[in-house]
C-alpha cells in the first residue's frame, strides 16, 4: 500500500508506457466498457462505501486518454464529480494508495474538488489490473474528512478491484464464446471432425476414425455395407442416445426422416454426456454426406454463461431481464391461446430500516429467505425474478386475478411468519411485504400490465403495508379486491 503525504508524490504522474496504452486500446476495441454499470459494478461501489463508511465511491475505466465513469455511489443529483486526479495517482503508481489529507498534498491541494465543493479531504483507491498486468481502471472512495484506512480495508478494496476485472473478463469470455459458436457454424462444412458417407442405396461407404471415437459405445456397428437404418437400430439397442430411451421406435422414425430429407443441422447427446452437432447433405448422385463435430465444451460454456446471465447472484432467482422475458413470453402465448396470466409485484416493507438497524448481511439473508419461501409457495410452472433492490416479480401462467390474490395472500402470510437470524446478534427479525396483483387484460401489452401492478403495489403501501391489493377491471367488478394483514 502507498500512503501519499506531502512531497511523497514526486514522479507519480509519469505517463503510462506504450504497452499499457496498447493493452487498454485492446480493451476498448473489445467494447468491455459498454456494460450495464448498475448490474455489474453498482454492488461493488456500494460495498466499497460500506467498508470504509465513506460518503462517495466510484469505479472508472481508463481508455488510454480519459477516465470513463462506470459506477458511482453516494453522489447526489447534479453534484460535481471528484477530480479524476485522485484516480490518476492510482493509475500511474499501479498500487493501492491512501491520501490521508489532500489539503496538505503538494499537487492535490490545488484541485477544485479539494478547494471547492464537494471539498474532498481524503481518498483510498486501488487499481484494476488485468491478467496481463496492465492497469485498466480504478475503484476508490472519497471522504469529506481526513481519514486513515487499516490494512484489512485496503485489502478489501483490492479484492473489489479484482472482482471488477473478473466481471470484465467474464463478459469478454461470453462474447468470445458467442463468437466461437458463430464461427463453428461456418467452419463445420470446411473443417469437419467426424466424417461419414452413405451411398445412393443408403449403405455405409466411408467413415473416418474420429467417428469411432465419437460413437465409442456403438463403434462395432459401423461396418461398411450396412444401411443407415441397420446401424441406427443397433446403436439404439446399446443405449447410445439418451433422448431415445423409452421411445426408441418413435425416435428412430424421426431420425430416419431427418436423414433421408436433411435440412440444416441438428444436435445430439450421447449416453456418455457428449454433445455432437450433426450436419447432413445429399449429393447430386443421391448419396448422403455427414459431419459430426464435438461441441461438448461449447454446450457446457453456454450453460454456465446462461446461468450467470439469468440468475441473480444474491437470491438465485431470475434476473430482471429474464423475468421480464417470461412476461413477454406469456403475452405471446395469450395471443395464441385462450388462457389467462397474472403477476405479483412484491416489495419488502421498510427494507432500508432492516439494513440500517441490523446490517446488510441481515438484509441480504432476509431477501434470500423471502425468495426461498416464495419458491415453495408458487407452482413449478410459475416464475420468480428480482426486479431490483427489494422488489420482486412473480409470473403466474393460467391464473386469473382471484387465484393470484389467493396466492399473494398466502405468500404474504408465510413471509410474515419468517424469522430472520441477525448477523452477529443473538436475535432475529421479521419482515413483511406489500404485494400488487394484476391480470393480463385482452389485447394488453406487458408494459401496461406491469404499470397496473406497480399502481396496485403503491396502493398497498398507502393502505398501511403488509397487505395485498389487486387491480380490477371496473367493467367486470364493482370494487377492488383487497386482502389485508
pLDDT at 77: 79
CB 164 within 8 A of CB 45: no
- Collapsed DSSP state (helix, strand, coil) of residue 427: coil
Tell me the C-alpha distance between 191 and 183, whole Å.
11
Tell me the C-alpha distance between 311 and 87, whole Å.
33
> Rounded to the nearest 10 degrees, how much is the dihedral formed by the CA atoms of 181, 183, 184, 186?
130
Tell me the C-alpha distance between 157 and 140, whole Å.
8
Q: How far, CA to CA in Å, does 184 sit from each of 192, 269, 293?
A: 10, 18, 9
What are the backbone dihedrals phi and psi of residue 274, each rounded to the nearest 5 degrees, phi first? -75, 140
pLDDT at 375: 96
pLDDT at 483: 53
Query: Does pTM surpass 0.85?
Result: no
Give the H/E segment covering residue 326: helix 320-336
pLDDT at 73: 87
Q: How many CB atoms lie within 10 A of CB 213?
A: 14
Instruction: Give the rounded distance of the alpha carbon of 269 from its chain centre.
Output: 27
CB 318 within 8 A of CB 326: yes
Q: How far, CA to CA in Å, does 463 sit from each of 12, 112, 380, 467, 468?
A: 59, 48, 31, 8, 9
- Collapsed DSSP state (helix, strand, coil) of residue 347: strand
pLDDT at 108: 84
Residue 217's Cβ-side half-sphere holds a number of Cα atoms within 13 Å equal to 16
pLDDT at 168: 85
Query: Splitting the chain (485 residues) into consecutive groups of 10 residues, what average pLDDT does each group show?
Result: 36 38 46 51 91 91 79 80 81 84 85 85 91 88 86 93 89 84 52 82 89 86 94 90 89 94 89 90 93 90 84 93 94 90 97 92 95 95 95 97 96 96 85 96 94 96 95 49 49
- Collapsed DSSP state (helix, strand, coil) of residue 166: helix
- Ordered by where they begin, the domains of the chain are 2-166 (3.30.450.40), 192-299 (3.30.450.20), 311-484 (3.30.70.270)
Amino acid at each position: 500500500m502507498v500512503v501519499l503525504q506531502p512531497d511523497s508524490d514526486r514522479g507519480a504522474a509519469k505517463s503510462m508506457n506504450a504497452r499499457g496504452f496498447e493493452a487498454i486500446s485492446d480493451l476498448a476495441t473489445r467494447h468491455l466498457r459498454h456494460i450495464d454499470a448498475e448490474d455489474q459494478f453498482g454492488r461493488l461501489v456500494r460495498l466499497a462505501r460500506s467498508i470504509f463508511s465513506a460518503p462517495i465511491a466510484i469505479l472508472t475505466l481508463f481508455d488510454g486518454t480519459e477516465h470513463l465513469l462506470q459506477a458511482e455511489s453516494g453522489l447526489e443529483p447534479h453534484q460535481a464529480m471528484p477530480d479524476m486526479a485522485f484516480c490518476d495517482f492510482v493509475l500511474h503508481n499501479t498500487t493501492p494508495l491512501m491520501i490521508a489529507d489532500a489539503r496538505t498534498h503538494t499537487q492535490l491541494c490545488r484541485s477544485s474538488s479539494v478547494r471547492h465543493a464537494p471539498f474532498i479531504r481524503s481518498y483510498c483507491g486501488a487499481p484494476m489490473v488485468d491478467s496481463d498486468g496492465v492497469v485498466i481502471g480504478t475503484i476508490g472512495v472519497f471522504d469529506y474528512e481526513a481519514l486513515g484506512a487499516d490494512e484489512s480495508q485496503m485489502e478489501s478494496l483490492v479484492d473489489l478491484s479484482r472482482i471488477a476485472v473478473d466481471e470484465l473478463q467474464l463478459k469478454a469470455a461470453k462474447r468470445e464464446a458467442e463468437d466461437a459458436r458463430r464461427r463453428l457454424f461456418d467452419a463445420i462444412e470446411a473443417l469437419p471432425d467426424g466424417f461419414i458417407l452413405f451411398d445412393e442405396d443408403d449403405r455405409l461407404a466411408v467413415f473416418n476414425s474420429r467417428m469411432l471415437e465419437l460413437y465409442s459405445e456403438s463403434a462395432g456397428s459401423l461396418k461398411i455395407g450396412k444401411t443407415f437404418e441397420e446401424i441406427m437400430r443397433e446403436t439404439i439397442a446399446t443405449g447410445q442416445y439418451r433422448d431415445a430411451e423409452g421411445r426408441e421406435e418413435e425416435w428412430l422414425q424421426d431420425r430416419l426422416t431427418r436423414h433421408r430429407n436433411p435440412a440444416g443441422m441438428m444436435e445430439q447427446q450421447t449416453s456418455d454426456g457428449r454433445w455432437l452437432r450433426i450436419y447432413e447433405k445429399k449429393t447430386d448422385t443421391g448419396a448422403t454426406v455427414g459431419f459430426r463435430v464435438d461441441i461438448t465444451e461449447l454446450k457446457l460454456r453456454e450453460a454456465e454463461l446462461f446461468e450467470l446471465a439469468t440468475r441473480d447472484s444474491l437470491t438465485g432467482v431470475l434476473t430482471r431481464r429474464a423475468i421480464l422475458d417470461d412476461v413477454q413470453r406469456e403475452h405471446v402465448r395469450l395471443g395464441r391461446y385462450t388462457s389467462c396470466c397474472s403477476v405479483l409485484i412484491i416489495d419488502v416493507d421498510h427494507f432500508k430500516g432492516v439494513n440500517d438497524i441490523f446490517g446488510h448481511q441481515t438484509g441480504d439473508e432476509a431477501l434470500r429467505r423471502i425468495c426461498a419461501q416464495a419458491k415453495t409457495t408458487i407452482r413449478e410452472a410459475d416464475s420468480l425474478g428480482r426486479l431490483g433492490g427489494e422488489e420482486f416479480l412473480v409470473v403466474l401462467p393460467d391464473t386469473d386475478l382471484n387465484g393470484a390474490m389467493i396466492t399473494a395472500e398466502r405468500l404474504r402470510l408465510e413471509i410474515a411468519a419468517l424469522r430472520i437470524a441477525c448477523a452477529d446478534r443473538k436475535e432475529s427479525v421479521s419482515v413483511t411485504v406489500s404485494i400488487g396483483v394484476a391480470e393480463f387484460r385482452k389485447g394488453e401489452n406487458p408494459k401496461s400490465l406491469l404499470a397496473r401492478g406497480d399502481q396496485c403495489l403503491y396502493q398497498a403501501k398507502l393502505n398501511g403495508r403488509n397487505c395485498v391489493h389487486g387491480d380490477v377491471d371496473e367493467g367486470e367488478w364493482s370494487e377492488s379486491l383487497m386482502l389485508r394483514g
